[in-house]
Amino acid sequence: MPNGNGQEDLKLTEDELNQDVNLNEINPEEATPEQVAELQKQSKTLQAQKKHWRDKAKEAEAAKKPDPAQLDPSLTKPTPPAGPDVEGLKKDVDSLKSVEEKRQFGHRHNLSPEETDHVFAFAQGRGEDAAKALDHPFVKSGLEAMRAQARNSSATPGPSSRLPKVEGKSWSDLDAKGRKENFPKMSEAAKAGR
């Protein structure tokens, strides 16, 4: 039966499909046209068997996968992953911008972070610019009071101008023997602040 290519399609029986090609029985130099035709037939048989088993494997794979048309449409559409809260991100970005603005403003005007917060709070309450709020007398006096309080709280007393003396002599006036003998008295006098 000729096919579209001008060649004949071979219809093979079950026995013919199960036959193995045996090339050892045929000598290529002495092969007859019937033997060559038999080899072609066996070759086509093997190709048909391979195609048959490939098709079976594809059918088995296709049977494992469900038909997309039969699936629930809500299951076929991928749900987008839960994204970040856009409003929350906007708030975070605005907060970071505000912090950076305050940091730069404080550095530019030689203010501590606490002083900068107070200036911004005052300016926001009045609805004006923070740089303009620095010129307000209330802010100026408030900053001076904050700085004076900070200086007073971190102030340490200066060194005593009076050096302790034992028997009318200071440490530098004593020789090695006198320092050894009077060390306990000098340390007590230093502790007492005499």
Contact 43, 21 (CB under 8 A): yes
Establish if 143 belongs to a structural domain. yes
Q: What angle do CA 51, 54, 60 make, to 5 degrees?
A: 140
Inside any domain, residue 48: yes
Q: Domain count for the chain, please give it.
A: 2
In a domain, 124, yes or no: yes
The predicted pLDDT at position 25 comes to: 64
Q: What pLDDT was estimated at residue 38?
A: 83
The boundaries of the domain holding residue 43 are 14-65
pLDDT for residue 67: 64
Q: Is residue 147 assigned to a domain? A: yes
Whole-number pLDDT of residue 5:
47
Q: Is residue 39 part of a domain?
A: yes
Residue spans of alpha helices (H) in 25-163: 33-64, 73-76, 86-108, 113-126, 130-133, 137-153
**Domain for residue 159, yes or no?**
no
- Give pLDDT < 50 ranges for the chain: 1-9, 194
pLDDT at 7: 45
Q: Give per-residue pLDDT as tens, 11-59.
A: 556 665 555 555 556 677 777 888 888 888 888 888 888 888 889 888 8
Count of CB atoms situated within 10 Å of the CB of 122? 17
In a domain, 24, yes or no: yes
Residue 54 included in any domain: yes
**pTM for this one?**
0.38
